[in-house]
Amino acid sequence: MLLAMRTAPDGSPIDVYTRLPALGEGEIVAAALPPGASVLELGCGTGRITRQLVGLGFRVTAVDESAEMLAHVRDAETHQARIEGLDLGRRFDGALLASNLVNADPASRRAFLETCRRHTDLVVCEGLPLAWSPEDGETALGEVRSRLHVRSRLHVRSVEEGVVRGEVECNADGETWRHPFAMHVFADEAELGAALGEAGLRFDRRLDPRWFLTVPI
């Protein structure tokens, strides 16, 4: 059954996000930050990674523009706001930019990274693999294996000038949701480095194939 989705302002499907399980992202982020650090999580969604970080002893300030998303976040300071232009007037030990937001269109990506830079020197990013070349059926935009039986399928519409456009189809408990996407894929480390440099950041090291740490230039 194809359902009408409740969506956040950016089109993210709220009902899908509430079903996604933890996949160890908290441990990946924790490896890059001091124990008990203060973390600014930008685009926290329903708090899937927030909960992991709080459980590991981090002090999380979670930001999302969707009140419906934030309603699911527990045990963290929350702010309903857009990432672009955000200024909370204080610094954090680190910032988290997950959900492939670093692969957004150049203007949005620059604004996201500049917000990170206003608040911290250490930014942990999740991004698509370099030179990612998707095919229909691949689930690299968010592969899920869980007891909740949530599955995602990727439908690619076009790949032009490094931008992949298509649709993600998610299935859970006999229900189906679909939402479009457009993601910029970095061809190599040089292109990624140039994009980070626009916000005064540089690539520091990989945490795993998808996650990496950035520091000031």
Closest listed residue to residue 183, CA positions, set 99, 116, 114: 99
Measured between alpha carbons, how far is 193 from 191 in angstroms, rounded to an integer? 5
Q: Return the CATH number at 42.
A: 3.40.50.150
Residue 160, in any domain of the structure: no
Q: What local confidence, expressed as pLDDT, does residue 148 receive? A: 38
Residue 197, in any domain of the structure: yes
Q: Is the pLDDT of residue 63 over 60?
A: yes
Q: What tens digit of pLDDT does each residue of 32-43 get?
A: 999 999 999 999
Q: What local confidence, expressed as pLDDT, does residue 178 receive? A: 78
Closest listed residue to residue 148, CA positions, set 115, 166, 130, 172: 172
Residue 72, in any domain of the structure: yes
CB atoms within 10 A of CB 83: 21
Of 12-16, 89-93, 179-183, 212-216, the one with minimum mean pLDDT is 12-16
Total domain count, the chain: 1
Closest listed residue to residue 182, CA positions, set 14, 11, 49, 9: 11
For residues 5 and 69, the model is more confident at: 69
- Phi/psi class of residue 111: alpha, beta or left (left: φ > 0; alpha: ψ in -120 to 50)? alpha
Tell me which residue range forms the domain holding 118: 14-129+186-216
Q: What tens digit of pLDDT does each residue of 155-172 get?
A: 788 888 889 888 877 776
Bridge partner list, 187: none
pTM, two decimals, is 0.87
Residue 125, in any domain of the structure: yes
Q: What local confidence, expressed as pLDDT, does residue 172 receive? A: 66
Q: What local confidence, expressed as pLDDT, does residue 40 receive? A: 98
